[in-house]
Amino acid sequence: MSSTSDQTRAAGAERALYVGMYLPAAKAPVPVGLLTLGRRGVTEYGGFAYGRLYRTRDDAIALNPGFMPTATPSFDFPPRRLRDGGALNLSFRDCLPDAWGELVLRYENNWKPLSADEMLLKTNDYRVGALVFSPGIEMPPPAPAADGVRLEDLAEAARCLAFDMDVPKPLRRLLTQGGTLGGTRPKASLLRDAALWMAKFPAKGDEVDVQVLEACTLRLAALCDIRVPAFELAPLPKLNALLLRRFDRPDPDADCRRIHYLSAAAFTDSPYDSNAGSYVGLANQLRLHGAMVARDLPELFRRLVFNVLIDNTDDHVKNHGVLHAGGNLYELSPAFDMVPQLTNLGYMGMAISEGSEIPHLDAVLAAASHFGLSRAAASATIQQIRKLVTGWKAVFVAGGADELLLRRVEHCFKVQAKLATA
């Protein structure tokens, strides 16, 4: 940002962005409303107002059914210090990149920091979900498909940036395909057979092949009747890339281009940087706004049991989400970022219920009724998943895990089993 831009922001001038959305059966985004952000000293404030024409559309959907209904014309965001994340509402914060995406954007901006509204404008093409942002009422057109990109080139561009190396000029443009994505690990979107996929690459400091670890965990989760994205491992000159089909992008011949997505943080109004949010809280919101409640609640319970048993302490409110499923109803998205942390720290990233963050199966069983399960049914589910997780080694061997990874997982799962049952 220029010094003039800095002075303008410090003076408290409001910035306005038009918000658009790819509605179901729409090939292009339509204007939804106006987002405003302003600053007073170190405190940011803002708000959002739905457009009058949008609210009268028969196919209009709320940005967030529980906390931003279309029946309410406008919303004020509570003032919040910039150091604490600013005032941006969670439904919009979902649209911002996390650590890796922000690193990509800062690199493209000669390492100068960008404000939230600047990042929103720069990340329309590949971000998760169906929202886009524009400085004017005219919505940005759909981006042309970035086909013909070599996975090896994407991996090399990501490796250079992740390892603090200069990215070769011919590869720099490829980094834009990772500038919208969440998480801390190097990644990028790519087109394969006209469908959008995400590639995850090795990160600095990896002690094991994390891509193989995640792929094997997804296979194990699928055996536990947990829905996961289509995925595959792709060999690279060093280690592997993990390719995952983007579940927020329909098949190429579908009527719509993008599917509206909300993280569990936004769906349950649980700020990222707080202790709020729980599996029970997510289950309760699915009861209110779920399109597949009879399917999703038992599956959410299975995910909870599975995460407890595999030492997934990265299961925070941004690593769960829901997809728009018609009207103002949502369904649980396929599971993602489901990886053993190999640390056995003895806590959950997202609490079982409010204040219950210890990964113990007794606490899981006590919460069964919130997932529509009797105690007997929940107990049977726990025993089934425990048995399947106990058979992890055959899955990991078949998935290409080396001896080091097998030893690390074996130790982790043994310790975790004691933590979960002692």
Q: CA 130 to CA 24: how far, in whole Å? A: 9
Q: Degrees (nearest 5) of the Cα angle 309, 310, 315?
A: 100
Q: CA 292 to CA 331: how far, in whole Å? A: 6
pLDDT at residue 217, as a whole number? 98
Q: Give the number of other CB atoms < 10 A from CB of residue 240.
A: 20
Q: Give me the sheet containing 43-50, strands edge to edge.
A: 74-81, 43-50, 30-40, 15-21, 131-134
pLDDT at residue 1, as a whole number? 34
pLDDT at residue 11, as a whole number? 47
User: In terms of Cα–Cα distance, which of 114, 71, 63 is closest to 89?
Assistant: 63
pLDDT at residue 25, as a whole number? 82
CA torsion, points 5, 169, 172, 2, in degrees to nearest 10?
A: 0
Long-range contacts of 171-177 (CB under 8 A, 24+ apart): 172/108, 174/149, 175/104, 175/107, 175/108, 176/104, 176/108, 176/125, 176/126, 177/126, 177/146, 177/149
Q: CA 176 to CA 42: how far, in whole Å? A: 30
pLDDT at residue 10, as a whole number? 47
Express each pLDDT in 180-194 by its tens digit.
Answer: 666 788 998 888 888
User: In terms of Cα–Cα distance, which of 60, 27, 5, 29 is closest to 137?
Assistant: 29
Q: CA 1 to CA 135: how far, in whole Å? A: 16
CA distances from residue 44 to 10, 82, 135, 274 in whole angstroms, order as listed: 10, 6, 19, 18
Contact 231, 215 (CB under 8 A): yes
Express each pLDDT in 201-235 by its tens digit.
Answer: 999 889 999 999 999 999 999 999 999 999 999 99
pLDDT at residue 8, as a whole number? 39
Contact 180, 97 (CB under 8 A): yes
- β 187-192/15-21 pair status: unpaired
- The pair phi, psi for residue 99, each rounded to 5°, is -60, -50
DSSP secondary structure letter of residue 316: -
Residue 118: CB partners within 8 Å, gap ≥ 6? 1
Residue at token pair 């009207």: 327
pLDDT at residue 145, as a whole number? 60
**Residues linked to residue 47 through DSSP beta bridges, in sequence order:** 36, 76
pLDDT at residue 266, as a whole number? 97
pLDDT at residue 4, as a whole number? 36
Q: Give the residue ranges of the chain where pLDDT is below 50.
A: 1-11
Show the domains of the chain with their CATH numbers. 14-89 (no CATH), 94-136+146-201+236-254 (no CATH), 261-421 (1.10.1070.20)
Helical segments of 244-292, H only: 264-268, 279-289
DSSP result, 49-91: EE-HHHHT-TT---SBTTTB-TTS-EEEEEEEEGGGT-S--HH
162 phi-psi bin (left φ>0, alpha ψ -120 to 50, beta other) = alpha
Burial class (CB in 10 A: 0-12, 13-18, 19+), 214: buried
Q: Degrees (nearest 5) of the Cα angle 253, 143, 150?
A: 85
pLDDT at residue 2, as a whole number? 36
User: What is the enclosing helix (H) or strand (E) of 382?
Assistant: helix 375-390
Q: Degrees (nearest 5) of the Cα angle 344, 350, 355?
A: 100
pLDDT at residue 9, as a whole number? 47
CA distances from residue 336 to 214, 321, 348 in whole angstroms, order as listed: 9, 9, 16
